[in-house]
Structure 1
Amino acid sequence: MLQILSITTPIFLLIGLGYFAARSGLVSREQIRGMGIFAMTFALPALILRALSQRPIGEIVDPVFVLAYGLGSLLIFALGFAFFRLVRGQSVASCALSAGGMSVSNSGFIGFPVVAMVLGAPAGVALALCMLIENLLIIPLMLFFAEASGQQGKGRGALLGETFKRLARNPIILAIVLGLCLSLLQVSIPAIPLKAIDMLANASAPVALFVIGGTLFGLRIGGAGTEIALVALAKLILHPLAVGLAFAVLPDIDPTMRLAGILFASAPMLSVYPLFGQRFGFEERCAAILVTATALSFFTMGGVLALMGAGVF
Structure 2
Amino acid sequence: MLAVLSITAPIFVLIGLGFFSARIGLVNREQARGMGAFVIHFALPALVFKALAERSLDEVLNWPYLGAYALASLSLFGFGLLLAWRWRGQSLSQSAILAMGMSVPNSGFIGYPIAVMVIGPTAGLAMALGMLVENLLMVPLALALAEAGQQQGRALTVLRETARRLLRNPLIIAIVLGLAMSLSGLRLPLVPARVVEMLAAASAPVALFVIGATLYGMKIGGMAADLAQTAIGKLILHPLLMLAALMLVPGVDPLLMVAGLLFASAPMMSVFPILGQRFGLEQRCAAALVGCTVLAFFSVSAVLALLRWQGLLPG
What is the TM-score of this pair, normalised by structure 1? 0.77
Partner Cα distance (2:41, 2:84) in 1? 28
Q: Which residue of 2 aligns with 1:265?
A: 261
Cα pair 2:18 2:209 within 8 Å, conserved: yes
Cα pair 1:65 1:258 within 8 Å, conserved: no
Distance 1:2 1:263, change over 3 A: farther
Cα pair 1:15 1:213 within 8 Å, conserved: yes
Q: Are 2:34 and 1:67 aligned?
A: no
- Taking the TM superposition and a 5 Å limit, the aligned residue runs for 1:222-233 are 222-233=221-232
Q: Which residue of 2 aligns with 1:110?
A: 114
Cα pair 1:73 1:243 within 8 Å, conserved: yes
- The correspondence for 1:101, drawn from 102, 105, 121, is 105
Cα pair 1:81 1:99 within 8 Å, conserved: no
Partner Cα distance (1:213, 1:107) in 2? 15
Structure 2: give runs of 5+ residues left out of the alignment: none
Q: Which residue of 1 aligns with 2:54?
A: 54
By how many angstroms is 1:129 displaced?
5.8
By how many angstroms is 1:259 displaced?
7.9
- Taking the TM superposition and a 5 Å limit, the aligned residue runs for 1:190-229 are 190-229=189-228
Cα pair 1:101 1:231 within 8 Å, conserved: no
Aligned-pair identity in percent equals 38
What is the TM-score of this pair, normalised by structure 2? 0.77
Q: Which residue of 1 aligns with 2:45?
A: 45
Q: Are 2:168 and 1:165 aligned?
A: no
Q: Are 2:135 and 1:139 aligned?
A: yes
Q: What SS is found at the alignment partner of 1:233?
A: helix
Partner Cα distance (2:147, 2:23) in 1? 33
By how many angstroms is 1:210 displaced?
1.3
Partner Cα distance (1:11, 1:135) in 2? 21
Distance 1:63 1:275, change over 3 A: closer
Cα pair 2:106 2:263 within 8 Å, conserved: no
Distance 1:35 1:248, change over 3 A: closer
Judge which range, 286-295 or 264-273, deviates more. Answer: 264-273
Judge which range, 217-226 or 278-287, deviates more. Answer: 278-287
Partner Cα distance (1:92, 1:227) in 2? 12
By how many angstroms is 1:85 displaced?
4.8
1:104-146 deviation per Cα after TM superposition (whole angstroms, max 9, x unaligned)? 99553223444x4xxxxxx766x46633431211233243246
Distance 1:242 1:37, change over 3 A: same
Cα pair 2:16 2:212 within 8 Å, conserved: yes
Judge which range, 19-28 or 94-103, deviates more. Answer: 94-103
By how many angstroms is 1:177 displaced?
1.8
Cα pair 2:239 2:265 within 8 Å, conserved: no
Distance 1:81 1:184, change over 3 A: farther
